[in-house]
Amino acid sequence: MQTQLFINGAYVDAASGETFDVLAPATEQVLARVARAGAEDVGVAVAAARTGAKAWQALTPAAREACLLKAADLVAAQGMERLLDILIDESGSVINKARMEVRYTVDLLRTAAGEARRLYGETFPNDNPSRISMVMREPLGVVAVISPYNAPLSLLTKMLAFPLAAGNAIVVKPSEETPLIALALAEILHEAGFPDGVVNVITGFGAECGAPLTNHPGINCIALTGSTTTGKLVGAQAMQRMLKTQLELGGKSAVLILADADPVKAANIVAQGIFTHSGQICMANSRAIVERSIYPELVDAIIAICRAMPIGPLRDESSVYGPLINRKAVEKVQAIVDDAVSKGATLLYGGKVRDGLVYEPTILANVPHSCLAWREELFGPVLCISAADGIEDAVSQANDADYGLSSAVLTRDIAKAMYAAKHLEAGAVHIGMHAFQSNALAPIGGSKLSGIGRSGGAYSTEEFTEVKWISMELNPDV
């Protein structure tokens, strides 16, 4: 299978004619040969988007809403077959995670459709009675949408549906690991009636087409979901042109388990929050901080879960997770686990590759907080577990982190839960749940090194529009 770029409503080869191979994580075999875009293709795509933006903004909100609703219907109709297969083969998702993505994608498109009618402005009082002040909300123009590999359908949809609803055109640069699902989504959007040039997809590598895209003078805003390393680079460049950016970056989320929680039930929640999709989830609770009185029971329960965890074929209904995305990712996880053990951490379970790119569920205890395993995002199925003396100590350990994406607290004690909600340094605190939660209306985003901006519902509309102050003299002396 060979794919092309999608520019101005048509499929075209990269100007260089070059391609690159996309591998299936489960087999490490070539899945597709994909067009390899460069700076020249970026120029063509941005020019198409600038023209597309004008056509798109000329449509009524109802027409934009209709395109997004139609896209939602098409995903709902086709999603559970074709899109599911691509997600499983290209990103190594187990079938249940792939289904979850498709359902969330439909929800995001419908939620964004509603936003198309909500580009509210306002008026505000003026001390001069002959003057009126109002605020108009306008789209930004062309948004560069740069997406990661881990939830390549739903995250891409979250990043593109809201700017589109607000009247922007987009140029998408999906992860080089998962371009096929982005091309499939573009095809659906085209079928849903988005005018030519409104949605463009260029496939290729960060340095070769991502950087020329974010640096292109025809781009008005950058939405990037990816690692903090990439976010810092792109953010610094964007600041040279004072571009609006929405940066959704890495995480090292903590889940606190307080003494009143049932250790077995809590262990199940913690396990779901870290092992889903092999831990390749930005909000995964990769650190569990447990009140000392239930620490031994919780550790036993979580080891039992790891022992029994079905890690089978991707299309098996019971499989919890599958392979990591590529060999480099496996090597990174192994190096950080080995480093922690060499610095005094206790390996309670796992700690090695099981098969191919599948890494064992891994539990580390007594991890020094200076270690990469505690501080850095592994993006693998590795849980650091730590004992705490009371809620204040638990919160303080959780906050001893450079990231601040999500967090969770498992307790029935409302006062302690609210203490945690108030004091945890993160973009979200989930009470009675794990840290990996989604809601199309929620303001998703992080504090500290986890990013800038919030996405979801009206929060995205705010990010992808600009306000303009209009004032009017009712008796002009002109």
Kindly list the catalytic residues.
Answer: 248, 282
Per-residue binding letters, 359-378, with ligand NAD (x by CB under 6 A): ------------------x-
> What is the distance between the alpha carbons of residues 23 and 7, in angstroms, rounded to a whole number?
24
The shares of helix, strand and coil residues in the chain, as percent rounded to the nearest 5, are 40, 25, 35
Say whether residue 172 binds ligand NAD (CB under 6 A): no
Per-residue binding letters, 26-65, with ligand NAD (x by CB under 6 A): ----------------------------------------
Shortest gap between Cβ of 399 and ligand NAD (angstroms)?
18
Nearer to ligand NAD, 219 or 267 (CB): 219
> What is the distance between the alpha carbons of residues 308 and 145, in angstroms, rounded to a whole number?
40
Q: How far is residue 127 CA from its own chain's centroid?
A: 45
Say whether residue 235 binds ligand NAD (CB under 6 A): no
CB 351 within 8 A of CB 341: yes
The residue range among 13-21, 94-102, 194-202, 242-250 that interacts with ligand NAD, by the rule CB under 6 A, is: 242-250
Say whether residue 306 binds ligand NAD (CB under 6 A): no
Shortest gap between Cβ of 469 and ligand NAD (angstroms)?
32
Selection from 176, 147, 203 nearest residue 12 by Cα: 203
H or E stretch at 123: strand 122-124
Nearer to ligand NAD, 210 or 322 (CB): 210
> What is the distance between the alpha carbons of residues 432 and 420, in angstroms, rounded to a whole number?
12
Provide Rg for the chain, Cα atoms.
23
Give all strands of the β-sheet with 19-23 in edge-to-edge order. 2-3, 30-35, 19-23
Torsion of CA 46, 211, 280, 409, to 10 degrees: -90
| Token pair 């929060």 in the structure block, residue | 459
Say whether residue 386 binds ligand NAD (CB under 6 A): no
Shortest gap between Cβ of 439 and ligand NAD (angstroms)?
13
Nearer to ligand NAD, 167 or 226 (CB): 226
- Of 6, 56, 149, 359, the residue at the interface with ligand NAD (CB under 6 A) is 149
Q: N- to C-terminal Cα distance for the chain?
A: 66
Say whether residue 150 binds ligand NAD (CB under 6 A): yes
The residue range among 10-18, 249-257, 368-376, 459-467 that interacts with ligand NAD, by the rule CB under 6 A, is: 249-257
Structure tokens at 382: 């590795």
Which stretches of 147-300 are assigned E, i.e. beta strand?
Answer: 169-173, 199-201, 221-225, 244-248, 253-257, 285-291
Shortest gap between Cβ of 451 and ligand NAD (angstroms)?
6
Nearer to ligand NAD, 240 or 342 (CB): 240
Structure tokens at 475: 């008796």
Size of the site for ligand NAD (CB under 6 A): 34
- Of 91, 225, 285, 362, the residue at the interface with ligand NAD (CB under 6 A) is 225
Nearer to ligand NAD, 217 or 476 (CB): 217
Amino acid at 408: A
Q: Are strands 407-410 and 430-431 parallel, antiparallel or unpaired?
A: parallel
- Of 52, 148, 456, 457, the residue at the interface with ligand NAD (CB under 6 A) is 148
H or E stretch at 362: strand 362-365
> What is the distance between the alpha carbons of residues 454 and 449, in angstroms, rounded to a whole number?
14
Amino acid at 366: N
Nearer to ligand NAD, 147 or 334 (CB): 147
Selection from 455, 431, 429, 453 nearest residue 444 by Cα: 455
Shortest gap between Cβ of 457 and ligand NAD (angstroms)?
15
Nearer to ligand NAD, 161 or 305 (CB): 161
Residue 258: phi and psi, rounded to 5, are -90, 165
Q: Which of residues 195-224 bind ligand NAD (CB under 6 A)?
A: 205-207, 210-211, 214
Nearer to ligand NAD, 350 or 446 (CB): 446
The residue range among 124-132, 143-151, 368-376, 414-422 that interacts with ligand NAD, by the rule CB under 6 A, is: 143-151
Q: Which of residues 80-99 bind ligand NAD (CB under 6 A)?
A: none
Structure tokens at 66: 């209709």
Helix 61-78 vs helix 95-115: crossing angle, to nearest 10:
170
> What is the distance between the alpha carbons of residues 307 and 340, in angstroms, rounded to a whole number?
22
> What is the distance between the alpha carbons of residues 443 and 131, in angstroms, rounded to a whole number?
36
Per-residue binding letters, 397-436, with ligand NAD (x by CB under 6 A): --------x-------------------------------
Say whether residue 248 binds ligand NAD (CB under 6 A): yes
Say whether residue 175 binds ligand NAD (CB under 6 A): yes
Which stretches of 193-350 are assigned E, i.e. beta strand?
Answer: 199-201, 221-225, 244-248, 253-257, 285-291, 346-349
The residue range among 132-140, 248-256, 258-266, 349-357 that interacts with ligand NAD, by the rule CB under 6 A, is: 248-256
- Of 70, 97, 110, 173, the residue at the interface with ligand NAD (CB under 6 A) is 173
Nearer to ligand NAD, 152 or 195 (CB): 152
Judged by the rule CB under 6 A, the positions of this chain that interact with ligand NAD are 146-150, 155, 173-176, 205-207, 210-211, 214, 225-227, 230, 233-234, 248-251, 282, 377, 379, 405, 444, 446, 450-451
